[in-house]
Amino acid sequence: MECVVLAAGEGKRMRPLTARRPKVMLPVANHPMMEHLVLAARDAGITEFVFVVGYGEREVRGHFGDGSCFGIHISYAPQRQQMGTADALRSAQDLITGPFLAMNGDMILTSADIACMIRTPAPCMGTSTTDHPGDFGVVLVENDLVTALEEKSKQPRSNIINAGAYLFTPEIFDLLTRVGLSSRGELELTDALNLLIGERRLRAVPLSTWMDVGYPWDLLDANATLLTALASENYGTVEEGVHLSGPVVIGKGTVVKSGTYIEGPCIIGNNCRIGPHAYIRGATSIGDDCHIGHCTELKNSIVMAGTKIPHFNYIGDSVIGSGCNFGAGTKIANLRHDHAPVRVGEKDTRHTKFGAVIGDNVRFGINCSVNVGSVIGSNAAFAPGSYIKGNFGENSTIQ
């Protein structure tokens, strides 16, 4: 069995976090989201992989290499122009020798569900259910056969959705040659699926666990879910007077200073400085080479590598890029007074608690205030005492 992972897209809905990395390389529980998916497929028994790469190809190749570090073998199929999912899958054709699993690289699945899929006769597709099907194209199913795919609708006829995982035979490549440009100007895999549906040959395989990581707040949900499986490990130095509660992972070279209180689940990378007197609350991931300093509180957040949050800061329910620096007293709000769901631009996050999305290398002066739902592009800089609300593009400056 071979596995094709579609990983060529930027992930525009994740901007500004994808300014320097492809979406599939965004960290969840301190590992790229695609790594969790690939390891789940490996644990289901698959060792031969084809990665379809494009945007950020260097980052993907640099992390995964030939796969030997993960106990697998990886080949790469470049998609030079992102012309849609059918075009992406077709890029892998010359590297496929038999039945194969195909998966979008920006989701989280379990090895048990993947094992179930590869035991099902091809062709089949993984499905999941949702309480907001209007955000997705939905799937109509009779018994175990897919009977129709329905585009996004305000009145969807099903709560079953396409999970973006498929089991195909090489026959699918013949069908892909019959796909024309869609109204979006792309070659869509769903058009090939409709050919199979018309022949009543596409099976549905319900998945027990599925996480679509489409927006920054989805990163927080996936991060919290994956951290529940943590077991405490300490490869660093923990001084006297530190309190650890629940599962906490501390990386090599990291020093946790006296007076710090950490509530798991929490993962801290390598070569970090934590404290003294820091308070880190559950479902928080901190990347390598970070500094979380005196009287700083973090809660339910992702902090990427090299970011400094040195003293008297509060970060709640936020995604922070790499290489950022927070001036003393800078805080991110994460709750509206009316407790309504936070909106980011025009998009409803469906989260009553959500802070901000901050790109890479953003610099804050002392005592800045960041309001709920703010999005800050990479390399932005804010003067001391700035009030920050809304969207700010790359290289923005408030003096």
The catalytic site residues sit at 311
HEC string of the chain equals CEEEEEECCCCHHHCCCCCCCCHHHCEECCEEHHHHHHHHHHHCCCCEEEEEEECEHHHHHHHHCCCHHHCCEEEEEECCCCCCHHHHHHCCHHHCCCCEEEEECCEECCHHHHHHHHCCCCCEEEEEECCCHHHCCEEEEECCEEEEEECCCCCCCCCEEEEEEEEECCHHHHHHCCCCECCCCCECHHHHHHHHHHCCCCEEEECCCCEECCCHHHHHHHHHHHHCCCCCEECCEECCCCEEECCEEECCCCEECCCCEEECCEEECCCCEECCCCEECCCEEECCCCEEEECCEEECCEECCCCEEEECCEEECCEECCCCECCCCCEECCECCCCCCCEECCEECCCCECCEEECCCCEECCCCEECCCEEECCCCEECCCCEECCEECCCCEEC
Distance CA 35, CA 64 (A): 8
What residues have CB less than 8 Å from 153, skipping those under 6 apart? 134, 138
Distance CA 382, CA 327 (A): 10
